Structure 1
Amino acid sequence: MDRKRKIAAAIGAGLAPVLALTLPTGSASAHGYVNAPASRQAQCAQGTVSCGEIKWEPQSVEGPKGLRSCSGGNARFAELNDDSKGWRVSDVSRTQTFTWTFTARHRTANYEYFVDGTKVATIDGGNQQPPATVSHQINLGNATGRHKVLAVWNIGDTANAFYACIDVNIR
């Protein structure tokens, strides 16, 4: 009987690393980002810009509500705050559609959009759970040329929000 237990233990020990490497893993604790036009974290995930950890989890830029940083105050993703990193700029119109992709869908208080720190829109989420993708048509105001749009998804059932910066050239 001892021999059988030792063989079973050896087989289990041999299979454990294989299973650990092949079973799917869950995402980190975060859940949504703007993918069109491509946000900074979407560019990292696509390999458009060389980035650190954010390339593996573009949906993870989560922080307390009320922040105005591209990283959501998350030190792991501080490179998203670096305006000189070589972000691809998207040509957009003064009225532009922004599309969010969600990997986990929280109840939504609202979405906010800022151009260079000035709020240009708030979209009520009705404290409802959104579908897997949500698009908003946003009037970016009278600005023209290169700007940074900060899109914020304020969660209705937590104290946090998700943040995404999009570099745009408004025509």
Structure 2
Amino acid sequence: MKANRKLVAAAVGTAIAPVLVLLSPAGIASAHGYVNAPASRQAQCAQGTVSCGQIKYEPQSVEGPKGLHSCDGGNAQFAELNDNNKGWKATPVGSSVAFTWKFTARHRTSNYEYWIGNDKIATVDGGGQQPPETVTHNVDLKGHTGRQTVLAVWNIADTANAFYACIDLQVS
């Protein structure tokens, strides 16, 4: 009889383990945020505008240590975001642009940074607060014209990480 109980317990444990994994907080915490307007490179992947790999399914997951200047956030599985020859569509804009972040997990925010090359064009204070589901920043492009790639960085207040998004623009 003890052997039967052990077999039943093992079978029940095996049956509910996948359910527990799906319901655990670790599964929820895998999503965070990205720039969806103008469409960032990962947004273009998610929308099917450009053919991409895994980032297509998780555009919000380009996370890496603070201080990087790469489209992939130092994450090798998303390295294709660094490929300037992939056919990214550049959004036509004027001398300023409104960047809208979409958040799927809203972390307390130190700040947002916007870069063109090594030139930091804007910093927006996050005040250590948790943002709403979307946040929009109006950024002056400060004399930059032609095709530009803006690196947008969301620096998290309570971790050593940030989220990265590159946005291709045609500035007039």
Q: If the TM-score is normalised by the length of the shorter chain, which range does it land in? A: 0.7 to 0.9
What percent of counterpart residues are identical? 67
Give, in whole Å, the separation in 2 of the partners of 1:40 and 1:48: 9
Trace 1:143-154 onto structure 2 (pairs within 5 A).
143-154=144-155
Q: Show CA shifts across 1:35-65 (max 9, x none).
A: 0000000000001101011000000000000
Gapped regions of structure 1 (runs ≥ 5)? none
What residue in structure 2 maps to residue 91 of structure 1? 92
SS at match of 2:128: strand
RMSD: 2.6
Runs of 4+ in structure 1 over 2 Å off: 25-28
Give, in whole Å, the separation in 2 of the partners of 1:121 and 1:169: 18
Q: 1:27 to 1:158 in 2, by over 3 A?
A: closer
How far off its partner does 1:118 sit? Answer: 1.0
What amino acid sits opposite 2:45 in the alignment?
C
What residue in structure 2 maps to residue 124 of structure 1? 125
Trace 1:50-69 onto structure 2 (pairs within 5 A).
50-69=51-70
What amino acid sits opposite 1:152 in the alignment?
V
What amino acid sits opposite 1:39 in the alignment?
S
TM-score if structure 1 supplies the norm length?
0.86
How far off its partner does 1:27 sit? Answer: 6.2
How far off its partner does 1:93 sit? Answer: 1.4
The aligned length equals 170
Give, in whole Å, the separation in 2 of the partners of 1:143 and 1:116: 11
Equivalent pair of 1:117/1:150 in contact (CA under 8 Å): no
